Structure 1
Amino acid sequence: MNKPSQPGKAGIIVPTAEEDAAIYRGIAADPDAVELTADLAARLQPLRRRGRPTAERPKVPVTMRVDADVLDAIKATGSGWQTRVNQLLRDAVRRGKLAA
């Protein structure tokens, strides 16, 4: 049985020389296996982008000062208050109350 490569590092097991040899024999016998060369590694691309898709209208972080009681009232409406403030401002722009 293999021992961890570093004491106290559970889960990190380095194969023995015999296990390495068996692994490489298996790779050599597999017609679908491709050796990862430095050139091939440099050309590899992820299959898909990670994370959220790019927003059509990305949000912009803003720092602004408002009266404490106004902010308290807005935050008291619960989770999602920033989205609701954004919608209120958007509605005001659409109605012509604010010039965009």
Structure 2
Amino acid sequence: MGKRDEIVIDDPENPEWTAKDFARAKPSHEIPELAAVLRRGRPPLPEDARKQRVTIYLDRDLVERLKQDGKGWQTRANALLRKAAGL
């Protein structure tokens, strides 16, 4: 099979769209039930449960140590700070 060869699969449950189909199609955000199903990612957290973005300067060796354990180092740093603050 060459690069330009097409594989055509005839699926009666999913026919090829016609010009009429495209003309009456709507974006998913115009159909609330569909938009809710297609929404990606996690649902938003309540305002009081959201994290706050801050800029903090830490010693280089501390950041390197936190990153040694791999992905999720910022979450672990947050847990360590909460523990140190008695929260």
TM-score by length of 1: 0.46
Larger radius of gyration: 1
2:53 aligns with one of 61, 70, 75:
61
**Cα drift, residue 85 of structure 1:** 0.7
Q: How many Å separate the matches in 2 of 1:54 and 1:63?
A: 23
Amino acid at match of 1:66: L
- Consecutive aligned runs of 4 or more in structure 1 exceeding 3 Å deviation: none
Q: Which secondary structure does the structure 2 equivalent of 1:55 belong to? A: coil
Distance 1:46 1:76, change over 3 A: same
1:52 alignment counterpart: 42
- Kindly indicate which of the two structures has a greater share of residues assigned to helix: 2
Q: How many Å separate the matches in 1 of 2:63 and 2:69?
A: 10
Q: Is 1:82 aligned with 2:74?
A: yes
- Give the % identical residues: 37
Q: Could you list the runs of 5+ residues in structure 1 that have no partner in the other structure?
A: 1-14, 25-35, 96-100
Q: Could you list the runs of 5+ residues in structure 2 that have no partner in the other structure?
A: 1-16
Distance 1:88 1:46, change over 3 A: same
Q: How many Å separate the matches in 2 of 1:86 and 1:45?
A: 40
**Cα drift, residue 45 of structure 1:** 4.3
How does 1:1-100 map onto structure 2 within 5 Å?
A: 20=19, 23=20, 44-47=30-33, 48=36, 50=39, 51-56=41-46, 57-94=49-86
Q: How many Å separate the matches in 1 of 2:80 and 2:45?
A: 20
Amino acid at match of 1:46: P
Amino acid at match of 2:60: A
Amino acid at match of 2:42: R
